[in-house]
Amino acid sequence: MANVIVVGGGLGGLPTAYEIRHLLPKEHRVTLISEHEQFTFIPGLIRVALDLNPLEEMQLEIEPLLRERGIDWIHGRVTHIDPNQQTISVGGQTMDYDYIALATGASLAFDLLPGLGPDTGYTQSVCTPDHALHAREEWLKYLENPQNPLVVGAMPGAGCFGPAYEFALMADWEMRRRGVRDQVSITYITPEPYPGHLGVGGVKNAEKLTVNLMKKRGVQVIDNAEISAIDSETITLADGQQFPFGYSMILPKFRGSNFLQNVPGLTDETGFIPVTSTYRHPKYESVYALGVSVKLKQPDKTQVPIGLPKSGEMTEAMGIAVAHNIAHELGAFKKRCKPTLEALCFAEFGDTGIAYVAIPVVPDPATGKRRNAYAVQGRWVVWVKAAFERYFMLKMKMGWGVPWFEKLGLRMLFQVYLTEPLSPGTEQELLSA
């Protein structure tokens, strides 16, 4: 009997635990460890912050979901992992594992920019449930007398810009509904070369659609921007420009989880985990990783540093590959596979939305090209995103992981594939090299 542990109960960890449990015979033990008692649908936190949905609609209690599906549950913070001895410590408990899948997400690097973040700074965040609730509290106060500007953006090194687009344009839409939009200026500050770059670049129509929509909504755009200082009233850029604000939401740069950085040879200097094409660690064969915690190389050189986004769909694809490759190691699955890293992002902007598609996110290293990359705009994007949110919460309740009909739908509607068979001899290709 093997003991397989998944660390993390979020968009990566919970579906991966479901998939592993589905693939492995019952004699193998599957355990999920999470410091949070609730699963949170993180993309929904923007609506929570803008007081459009309660947090409860974006969360599920983890323990009952696991118990019903034969997955063991440990609630606690991981304090140490020893990949040589294959042990993991949670509080005062230490347990052995045969394979471990790290879906730990990221720590938020607010400390790199003094004044950034809701805990010790002056800006808001939509990266965690607590931050979203604080952002909502401050948003409602702001709406009582919205005289000072609204500033939305991302710090240098950030790697996921869709939430910033959504926050700026959803805030615009909400203030128009409340009849106060004419009292406020909105500025979008980004390290991207242009809005619609997304940390990806080269997506057809993405720049045109995103820039035109921001212009139509009266959102001032400052691109190639490096935020250098934040105080209680002003955001300052490295070139000296200053932007006063009454409310600001600035996305931070990500790091790998803190406890992983304490393990020699497990991560790079920023805590991200290097992986091979099977999403196994190149040094520790019992360790797999997925999601934001994985180290992937940013292929697009930009004036101001940015990261490579790791979307929810990419994370799910990584989780499928990890589950199948662990099952292969245990003799329960015939072939190895790898995620395609093909991404589909639905961004909601109130009365319209934009679907950004990059197939794949990382271009072919030989040609520098993608199979397809495009953006389309329409009211239907808002409906599709709302439907997907409800579907995702339903499948987490049902313990589906990534069912066959979801994979079929992505292929038929968007030509998006989540995984592909891994050719013999390529298992140890280092993705971040």
Report long-range pairs for 353-356 (Cβ below 8 Å, ≥24 apart).
Answer: 353/377, 353/378, 353/379, 353/380, 353/381, 353/382, 353/384, 353/385, 354/165, 354/206, 354/209, 354/210, 354/213, 354/381, 355/381, 355/384, 356/162, 356/196, 356/198, 356/200, 356/203, 356/206
* CB atoms closer than 10 angstroms to residue 217: 18
Q: Does the annotation mark 337 as catalytic? A: no
Which region, left, alpha or beta, applies to residue 202 given φ > 0 means left and ψ of -120 to 50 means alpha?
A: left
Q: What are the start-end ranges of the H helices in 277-421?
A: 312-329, 379-398, 404-414
Strand, coil or helix: what is 215? Answer: helix
Catalytic residue among 169, 304, 345, 431: 345
Q: Does the annotation mark 127 as catalytic? A: no
State the first-to-last Cα distance of the chain, in angstroms, to the nearest integer: 35
For 273, the token pair is 């985990």
Distance CA 299, CA 169 (A): 28
Parallel, antiparallel, or unpaired for β 227-230 and 234-237? antiparallel
Distance CA 207, CA 193 (A): 10
Parallel, antiparallel, or unpaired for β 87-90 and 78-82? antiparallel
Strand, coil or helix: what is 196? Answer: coil
Catalytic residue among 106, 160, 275, 431: 160
Distance CA 187, CA 171 (A): 11
* CA dist list (Å): 32 to 15, 29, 42, 74, 352: 11, 10, 19, 6, 38
CB 310 within 8 A of CB 296: yes
Distance CA 248, CA 252 (A): 12
Distance CA 218, CA 348 (A): 17
At 157, the amino acid letter reads G
Q: Cα-atom radius of gyration of the chain, to the nearest Å? A: 21
CB 326 within 8 A of CB 4: yes
Catalytic residues: 160, 345
